[in-house]
Amino acid sequence: MMLDDPAEDSAPRTVGGYRLVRSLGRGGFGEVFLGEAEDGTRAAVKVLHASWAGDADMRRRFAAEVEQARRVSGFCIAAILDADPGAAQPWIATEYIDGPTLQRAVAEEGPRRGVELHRLAVNTATALAAIHAAGVVHRDLKPDNIMLAADGPRVIDFGIARAVETTSVTASGVVGTIGYMAPEQLEGARLTSAVDVFSWGAVMVYAATGREAFHAPTQASRIARILGGGPDLGDLPEPLRGIVLLCLDKDQDRRPDAPALLNLLIAGPQGPAPSAAHPAAPQGSGVGATLVAPVPGTDPTRVAPPSGADPTRVAPASGVDPTRVAPAHGADPTRAYTRSVPAGPPSAGHAFAGPAAAGPPSAGHAFAGPAAAGPALPPPVPGGTGASARYTGAGGVPPYHFAGVRFTDPGALAEAMQGNWAAAVRVFGDTTERAALGAWLMDDLGDTVVDRALFRRHTDDANLALASFIGQTRPDLPPVFRGRGATLAELGALFSDPRPVITGAPLSNEMALLARPEVLRTMGLHHGPDPAAYQRLADDLDAAEHAGNTFHQELTGRLAGWRSAGPNVSPALILTFLLHPERTVPPSDGGDAGVGEWVDILWRRVDAFPGPAGVGHAAAIYGAMPTLQALSRQRRYWEERYTKVSTEHGALRDKVEQQQRFFRIRRYCNYALFAFPVGIVIGISGDAEWLGDLLVTLSVLALAASVVLSVVLRVGYGDPVRRGQRVMELNNAAAQLPELTSGVERIRADLVHARGITGA
């Protein structure tokens, strides 16, 4: 298992009057310690890493963040006690919260329920209101950054917070935690306080269910679900359920701000909670917020057409699809499309002209004229070209309205949706809207081209569903995904540089969404010079990702130091290597010889497996770079520690042996002093004067030697207390050596086993 590295970037033991007791955790920007002031006050002291402390821009941003955070009211957050952005290693001391994080509490005790959940929601929303009132955006609100103190929850870690004034002008990169990041945050767009409201909604889902709102097996699928799918709210109860849905709206402008959120939590929503796709109408309005105001002098129920446009105009079609089957003559003149919408008051964005049909249409559709019965849908016009089928007939085709335009041809609709991806993905991301579109295609038009599953199954990826609809309906169009061209040439240009993936730049999220086999296969629905190229690329991506994950599992299963290393095989990096094989080169070791040794060993596996498998192995090595760096640091620490303790042990052993030798000799000399009285007695008796003289002489010499040895011991080895301490130090060093020896041998054994795995 991976070991902590106490030698890495060690901070001073005293910071700003706080004695650093122990480390509480470390991150990419700094390390947090438990600190104690002279009066016993405890604080969480964050010290900026030495590598960042030398960066002038980082110092400036750190100082600005400290100044902004000082303006946040101290209730419901970990208040700032002191800070020094100008120190050699800038630091900030905040209130120490003695309690578990929400992440740990839910994992160990289970989801929150009832009053406890509501109290958590109110307190955290209050904290957000205080943070935003100070002009600060947290940007990384998640269960790990909410501490459950005895007197209530507290929001912590403003380490990556940014001032609203800064983030509203320019994006500073994607910072946050996947699963709790807002769509605009994932896309690297300009950020506002709305990102924290989205994160708050995701946190509440986790607190109530024990799982993420947008949970999925891979990072790419989690990103896709956040951008185009719906949240899984589990058994989240009302009224909190409706409030959370508002906060998780894809459109940041439709989310409540923190004060409005707090008001909703305190007062409760009036009437049924609106869904994320259908926000509440403005106060005083009887219809949705997006309803177009009528032009004075016109029928108040009729939508004003665009200037100069024929209000009855139908979007032109581009040709007849020979595979599209027209519905049988005599179809129900009331049209299934109009019947598919539930009865009730119109939703946001609806406008009607003429009498209501069997039920009002769903959001986003406008109708001109009565829904009168008409003749059956005529067959496609013969002689058409392209993949689009053009349906004609006076009043025979009920229109579908998208982006203010009436469509009677699916091909023209698909082309318009590809050109206005953001509006189209809202249709596919809303269950009701998608069902209405499916009813229009299948029941009203009798379409047999588009897969029914697009409209009858739940989808977590609206972007992929939209791309599939466009590809099936208009394969003659160039492939596009999320509004970005996706021809092979365009993919090659986008994936020409692996650095965004390696550094986590905003573009990496877009690359991750494209680098999925299902997306590539969907792009392959479009006609091109090599229709099978996308399929081959998707198959290679599948094979490479499998090989990379298998390689990682082999390393974690056989190497002790890898057991806690999570898999991080990036499909985006794989696709980069597949499209540009020349980019498949070993990662830089950054001047770290230990990392370089690991890379040299592991890269043998890449050389041994050409093709997709080798590409997958290369991506696994790039993904394991944080592990390699940690292993290298640990190896240096353990080897340096072993060398130091081993050297100290050898020196102590020699010195203790010498001092004990002198001590024994002096003790023998002291014993020899007893010969003095014996020699005197023998000399007086006169029986053996020579023996008496000898004993007296020996005792005098022993006395002199004892005095000399006492001086030597005192001067060379210290007083008895120090000599005793030296013996204890030797025993302690001897006790450490087995553990240090085991650690060093384990690290070296991992290198040996890795060579065996890769054949190095």
Catalytic residues: 140
Return the half-sphere exposure (C-beta side, CA atoms, 13 A cut-off) of residue 526: 24
Q: How far is CA 88 from the centre of its chain?
A: 31
Alpha-carbon gap, residue 175 to 181, rounded angstroms: 9
Tokens of 473: 């309906």
Concatenating the DSSP letter of every residue in 260-329 gives: HHHHHHHH--SSSPPPTTSPPPPTT-SS-TTPPPPPTTS-TTSPPPPTT--TT-B-------TTPPPPPT
Q: Which helix (H) or strand (E) holds 678?
A: helix 675-685
The DSSP H or E segment spanning 730 is helix 720-758
d(CA 67, CA 48): 16
46 annotated as belonging to a binding site for a ligand? yes
Locate all alpha helices (DSSP H) within 524-611, ordered by sequence: 533-558, 571-579, 593-608
Distance CA 539, CA 521 (A): 9
Positive or negative CA dihedral for 561, 564, 570, 574? positive
CA separation for the pair 399, 337 (Å, rounded): 9
Taking a C-beta distance cutoff of 8 angstroms, is the pair 177, 212 a contact? Answer: no
**Residue 692: CA atoms inside 13 Å, Cβ hemisphere, count?**
13
- List CB contacts of 525: < 8 A, sequence separation 6 or more: 468, 471, 472, 475, 479
How distant, in Å, are the alpha carbons of 30, 112, 431, 566, 585 from that of 756? 37, 49, 53, 22, 22
Q: How far apart are CA 407 and CA 20, in angstroms?
A: 69
Q: What b-and-e string marks burial along 565-595, b requiring 16 or more CB atoms within 10 Å of the CB?
A: beebbbbbbbbbbbbeeebbeebebeebebb
Helix or strand run (H / E) with residue 470? helix 462-473
* Backbone dihedral angles phi then psi of residue 645, each to the nearest 5 degrees: -65, -40
For residue 52, give every residue at least 6 positions away whose Cβ sits within 8 Å of its Cβ, in sequence order, or none: 29, 30, 58, 62
Question: Could you tell me which residues are beta bridge partners of residue 351?
Answer: 366
CA triplet 317, 456, 290: central angle to 5 degrees?
60
Please state whether beta strands 30-36 and 480-481 pair in parallel, antiparallel, or not at all (unpaired).
unpaired
